[in-house]
Chain A
Amino acid sequence: MSNKVKFVIDGKECQSDEGKYLVEAAKDNGVYIPTLCNYEGLKPKGSCRICTVKINGRLATACTSPVHEGMKIENYTAELNEVRKEIIELLFVSGNHFCPACEKSGNCELQALGYRYEMMAPRFPFAFPIREVDASYPRIIKEQNRCILCKRCMRGIKDEDGKSYFAYKNRGKDSLVVADRKLMSAMSPDKAKEAMEICPVGSILVREKGWDEPIGTRKYDNAPIGSEIENK
């Protein structure tokens, strides 16, 4: 059995299992640390950087840092929140995120973070990159305009031999997440659904599935992302 450890987040005394990732350990204590690339059950990757906190004064991603006894964590500070907001804005301007035209709108985690951090307009200029809508697979559409390169699909959607359906291509600002044609041609409807669910934005869509939830009843229409943790 694992040891219990005590740690402090923004002055709040917390307790959790030694070595548990900080995002999860905080959640156990009713503290929300914003995440985007993190997904329960997947190995964390720390690629979106939104969960960055200060652990004993040093910046670190909460999704990849295990908790230890006596840690002092800063989470909801003006400095950290400002950079988180900046990161959200970076993701908005670096893709083509037209929320009104997106099937995931209302259930999108990027949009929900935009709401939570009160992004009224990004401070950065829009890049308007040229990206394709790849509709060449039998089960899904890969909407590259909306991909935020969080790697959730890459980590989570694998076949029985452990091969990835999705992977990165290129590097730096030219990076893309692309799908494997051979594996895609044999993708099951369940796998497709799983892929769409694992995508935090509207970049992986199950074919022939449109808007089926009325505005006002969607996941983030009435309460901010994270409030489910904070109000527990």
Chain B
Amino acid sequence: MKTTVNKIIKKYKNDRYRLMDILLDIQEELGYIPEDLNQMIADELSISKVELDETISFYHFLTQKPLGEYTVYLNNSVTAGMMFREDVKKTFEEQSGVLFGNVSSDGLIGLFDTSCIGMSDQEPAAIINNVMFTNLTPFRVKEIVADMKEGKPVEEMHKQNFGGGKNSSDLIQAVVKNNIRRKGPVLWDPYEPGEGLRKSITMEPGDVIEEIKNSHLRGRGGAGFPTGLKWEFCNKSREKERYIFCNADEGEPGTFKDRVILTEMPKMVFEGMAIAGYAVGAKSGVVYIRYEYLYLRKYLENTLSELRKAKLLGRNIAGKNGFDFDIRIQYGAGAYICGEESALLESAEGKRGEPRDRPPFPVEKGFKGKPTIINNVETLAKVVKIIKKGSTWFTNLGTQESAGTKLLSISGDCRFPGVYEIEWGHSIYDILEMVGATDVQAVQVGGPSGILINPNQLPRKLGYEDLGTGGSLIIFHESRNLIREVVMNFTEFFIEESCGSCSTCRNTPFILKQKLEKILDGHGVVQDIDDLVEWSKNLKFSRCGLGHTAGNPIITSIQNFRHLYEKLVQRDRDYDTGFNLAESVKESCEASNRSTVV
């Protein structure tokens, strides 16, 4: 084991900055990172052991003990719950004889929960030994567990065809479906690799930035920062060593459009990075991609090789002397927060994914302290089309304030969940008609960090002037229990995914959850609803977007569905601590063997 680990560390030249790769490689080789080797790994990297522990213990998928020959990570996002996840979970437990959070005594099967894995349109889904399983049912789970007991390799457990498009290719072979429901004028226009890059090198780098600025393209990850401006800021730096990052860490529950782009048109994304590299004079790019998409690794690596062969990556690319640009792929290890750009950089430097204080911004001091552009997958793909067809073509799409198109990830209660490319400006009402949704009670726009809107708000329009979004829309039918099923699930998500650095986001969501439970248990009073709103306010004092929005599920549901809360609280009393005497003496009465009469 020691030699294996040593070899891996040597491969990365004992570089502390490559800790994520080192840990992921060790885990791939050994199944886990043996704790008794931590001191040795730390010594090799010239850090203290606790500094190593601090990184390992941060990431959901890194483990210091074996988690079973078959490790099941069953997604627990809200859409999974809506598609009968409970039944699937129960069947896994019954068939394997082990409860979630544990490994069976023979070490064969480990069952674990995990936050949204980007399969909201084909839930319930699970990752088993890095292989995706979608559309799970109790019947399928029985077959899968039986296969496990026979020792079958996971790859041979599938009974479905591989998914459409590139999912069936030799290098992916996943049952994942693309579910592309609507092709728009940007992404599914015919594309020839290199077409954008070759055109960009005929322009001055400054003109490329100008063109992107004129297109009014804004970040498609959700924050909506003007892309051209970001490039310009980076370009203004005195530092000449610069980096281009592609943020492929889409972790917002209900979002999966970047997965589809990376499956179907990774070359376009990588080309967008090269164009950014040309525009600001960066020589290296890094794709930071979530661990959940490990099943795309071979395919993406191969795509990079193909681009190198085609002289679209590497040295003197696209026929231009002196234009060097190459890309490497950096996998994460399970942390929603790493989608926040400065946390992403920390993680890419081999550390905990804790957001940085700003200023300075990444465009001033980013990866390894150098100016860094971080753009979303979809943003980078769009860059290629803008360069090819011109900024005017792009601004003619969409609305005055929101140029171009947007990819939506649609899931929940509708007939046709999947990916839709639409022009900005459609109302939510249009979208519901488009996807076949009726009797809608609520729509979550922009994932848990976004807002929960009610039927009166369906005329609201998608666009930066109204509902700017990363594109996740989760639809809830009128039969759903919004507070219990949805708000609770989202709040738990934020508890699970807080990095723990800020006092506010580390503590407040948990307190809000307790309050929510009190209301759901029938002990709530009107004051509790107001407390939820008041107590969420300190989250705005957090460092990053996760903290700022961690109270949104509660705040926006109270704003738009206050009547549901009011139905749950007691009308005849204005104070109730929720204390239950009979419950609270149970333990001591049992321990002293007496009846629980109080």
Contact = CB atoms under 8 A, between A and B. Distances in A.
Direct A–B touching in the complex (beta carbon < 8 Å)?
yes
Interface of A: 44-50, 52, 59, 61, 64-66, 83, 86-87, 90-91, 93-94, 123-125, 127, 148-149, 151, 159, 161, 163-175, 178-183
30 contacts: A47-B501, A47-B503, A49-B504, A49-B538, A49-B541, A59-B540, A61-B543, A83-B537, A83-B538, A91-B507, A127-B510, A164-B48, A164-B50, A167-B48, A167-B54, A168-B54, A168-B352, A169-B50, A169-B53, A169-B54, A171-B352, A172-B495, A172-B506, A173-B500, A175-B506, A180-B48, A181-B49, A182-B39, A182-B48, A183-B48
A112 B495 CA distance: 29
Contact of A66 (B359, B499, B510): B359
B323 interface: no
Interface string B532-544: 0001011011110
Interface string B36-68: 000100000011111101100110000000000
B511 A125 contact: yes
A181 B52 CA distance: 13
Contacts of B495: 172-173
Given A49-B503, A59-B541, A149-B506, A172 B498 contact: yes
Interface residues of B, number: 39
Contacts of B537: 83, 86
Contacts of A46: 357, 502, 543
A179 B46 CA distance: 17
Given A169-B57, A174-B500, A90 B543 contact: no
A164 B508 CA distance: 29
B542 A124 contact: no
Contacts of A61: 357, 543
A180 B50 CA distance: 5
Given A66-B359, A167-B54, A173-B507, A49 B502 contact: yes
Residue of B39, B46, B543 most packed against chain A (CB within 10 A): B543
A182 to B, nearest CB: 6
B404 to A, nearest CB: 28
Residue of A94, A161, A165 most packed against chain B (CB within 10 A): A94
Contacts of B53: 167, 169, 178
Given A167-B51, A168-B352, A65 B359 contact: yes
Interface in B447-483: none
Interface string B249-267: 0000000000000000000
Interface string B505-549: 011101100100000000000000001000101101111000000
Query: 3 nearest interchain CB pairs?
Result: A175-B500, A167-B50, A163-B48
Residue of A124, A159, A170 most packed against chain B (CB within 10 A): A124
A87 B54 CA distance: 25
B496 interface: yes
A149 B53 CA distance: 16
A179 B50 contact: yes
A168 B500 contact: yes
A88 B146 CA distance: 53
Nearest to B358: A64
A165 B540 CA distance: 32
B497 interface: yes
Interface of B: 39, 46-51, 53-54, 57-58, 335, 352, 357, 359, 495-504, 506-508, 510-511, 514, 531, 535, 537-538, 540-543
B130 to A, nearest CB: 22
B541 A87 contact: yes
B230 to A, nearest CB: 19
Given A86-B538, A168-B500, A173 B357 contact: no
Residue of A61, A151, A172 most packed against chain B (CB within 10 A): A172
B543 A87 contact: no
A56 B537 CA distance: 20
Given A48-B503, A90-B504, A178 B543 contact: no
A148 B357 contact: no
Contacts, number: 128
A48 B49 CA distance: 25
B498 A171 contact: yes
Contacts of B499: 171-172
B182 to A, nearest CB: 37
B194 to A, nearest CB: 42
Nearest to B548: A59
Nearest to B56: A169
Contacts of A123: 531, 535
A61 B535 CA distance: 20
Contact of B535 (A124, A151, A172, A183): A124
A36 B537 CA distance: 20
Contact of A87 (B58, B504, B531): B504
B500 A49 contact: no
B500 A178 contact: no
Nearest to B540: A59
Nearest to B39: A182
Contacts of A174: 500
Contacts of B502: 46-49
Contacts of A165: 48, 50
Contacts of B335: 171
B52 to A, nearest CB: 8
B508 A90 contact: yes
Given A87-B503, A171-B500, A172-B499, A163 B51 contact: yes
A232 B122 CA distance: 65
Given A167-B48, A172-B506, A173-B500, 19 more contacts: A45-B357, A46-B357, A48-B503, A49-B502, A50-B503, A65-B359, A66-B359, A86-B538, A87-B541, A90-B511, A91-B503, A94-B507, A148-B503, A168-B54, A168-B58, A168-B352, A173-B510, A175-B500, A181-B49
A171 B495 CA distance: 10
Contacts of B48: 159, 163-165, 167, 180, 182-183
Nearest to B515: A125
A80 B495 CA distance: 24
A86 B495 CA distance: 19
Given A52-B541, A87-B538, A180 B503 contact: no
Contacts of B541: 49, 52, 59, 83, 87
B42 to A, nearest CB: 8
Contact of B57 (A64, A86, A171): A171
A179 B279 CA distance: 46
Given A168-B352, A174-B500, A64 B357 contact: yes
B399 to A, nearest CB: 27
